[in-house]
A and B are shown apart, each in its own frame.
Chain A
Amino acid sequence: MTKLSLKVNGEAVQAEIEDRTTLGDFLREGLNLTGTHLGCEHGVCGACTVLVDEEPVRACITLAASVAGREVRTIEGFAEDPAMAVIRECFSEAHGLQCGFCTPGMAITVSDLLKRGKCADAAQIRTELSGNLCRCTGYQGIVEAVELAREKLNA
């Protein structure tokens, strides 16, 4: 077992975990932050994307112990985030989600790519989204949502 202290969604968290626990399992099972979804558990689908020190990482292939002392932000930590509020509106407007399983990871990836300005055109947006799989939408609504959000956030 390992003692772990870190910040999650702005709050200090201390826990004792099995050493092998991934960040994804720790957030979901340990902290009940179930908005972080586990799709493939081997780093391909991106459903588990969360921020560590404001950078997106895959919670399923990141050990919880290795982010000790750092700041983790999950989809639940975006409740008051103004840019995410715009992104949510645009996802709904452009029908950028269906079953909702990829959505939290997708939304976090989108917030990051918008922040980095990697949204010049649809082709760049699609490349930036390549690490987040969606089985429902065919991505069209998601790409439109990103374009909409880009316009709204730049306005």
Chain B
Amino acid sequence: MKAAKLTYHKATSIEHALELVGRYDGAGKLMAGGQSLVPMMNLRMTAAEHLIDISGLSALRESAWKDEAFFLGSGVTHSMIEDGKVEDPARGYLRHVAAGIAYRSVRNRGTVGGSLAHADPAADWPAALLALDAAIVIQGPKGERRMPLAQFQRGLMETALGEGELLKGVLVPRLSEKARWAYLKFTRKVGEFAHSIAAVVVDPAAGISNVVLGAVGGKPLRLNGVSTSLSPREIESDLKAADLDGSSYECQVHKTMITRALAKALQ
């Protein structure tokens, strides 16, 4: 189980990474922590003619407040968040999510940006950050652009990242003291990819009221808002809108996770 041949490039700066991405237009693949990419390469389910390694870029691990939002560098690892080495503007939500990703040795290399850019529908950050109304900061050859995370993930392992661009970071809103959240995953065993993710974030002060379902279809699904009275029927109609067979086992699990996450967040 060994990867196919590739040419390795170690990016020495964000500019260098962009230059490489541009140079190998189409044949280049960015690698952050590589914790999803390298297994797929070992299995020869994916190949990268030119692998551009951005895991060494400390510039991508920089995080800071920018106005009212917290900028989380895309190279921040899950364990940096888990350990509180990076501020959690979401009052423990990010730490909770980070600590539940795969296993410690994966969290030590896996990054927030890598997870978002890989865009696996069952991954944690795409669903968790969508529920936070996070925004994405993309660096291209001509500068930065921003977009809501909701527009970033387009489908199964497909994002709005254009050729020659890289994910620089994510802007996370500050949650107020009154914020409530819940993040539930359904897995058969600890550490495996989730079969259902329910993320609920409510913060009137920040104007956030989200229910997000992950591990469903091609990308996380935003449901019709949070309410103490969200009935099973309303949840069902939301799920139906996402082409989920109401009588399926998957639907049953999603409903259960959403109901429980809502109850937990609103208790």
Contact = CB atoms under 8 A, between A and B. Distances in A.
Chain B CB count within 10 A is highest, among A18, A25, A128, A131, for A131
Contacts of B31: 63, 66
Contacts, number: 90
Interface stretch (A6-14, A52-60, A72-80, A96-104): A52-60
A63 B8 contact: yes
A63 B34 contact: yes
Chain A CB count within 10 A is highest, among B8, B108, B191, for B8
Interface residues of B, number: 32
A27 B243 CA distance: 48
B6 interface: yes
Interface residues of A, number: 31
A22 interface: yes
Interface stretch (A39-47, A86-94, A141-149): A39-47
Contacts of B79: 55
Contact of B108 (A19, A56, A132): A56
Contacts of A63: 8, 31, 34, 38, 51, 53
A27 to B, nearest CB: 15
Interface in B117-139: none
Chain B contact residues, majority secondary structure:
loop
B206 interface: no
A58 B103 CA distance: 10
B86 to A, nearest CB: 15
B203 to A, nearest CB: 29
Nearest to A58: B105
A61 B34 contact: yes
B29 to A, nearest CB: 12
25 contacts: A2-B8, A20-B3, A20-B6, A20-B41, A22-B2, A42-B1, A42-B39, A43-B39, A46-B103, A55-B79, A56-B105, A58-B109, A61-B34, A62-B34, A63-B8, A63-B38, A66-B8, A66-B31, A66-B53, A68-B10, A109-B104, A130-B190, A130-B191, A131-B103, A131-B105
Interface of B: 1-8, 10, 31, 34-35, 38-39, 41-43, 51, 53, 55-56, 79, 102-106, 108-109, 189-191
Given A113-B104, A132-B103, 19 more contacts: A18-B5, A19-B5, A22-B42, A42-B39, A42-B42, A43-B35, A49-B105, A55-B79, A56-B104, A61-B38, A61-B39, A61-B42, A62-B109, A65-B8, A66-B8, A66-B53, A68-B10, A109-B105, A130-B190
The 6 closest A-B pairs by CB, nearest first: A131-B103, A19-B8, A61-B38, A42-B39, A41-B1, A130-B190
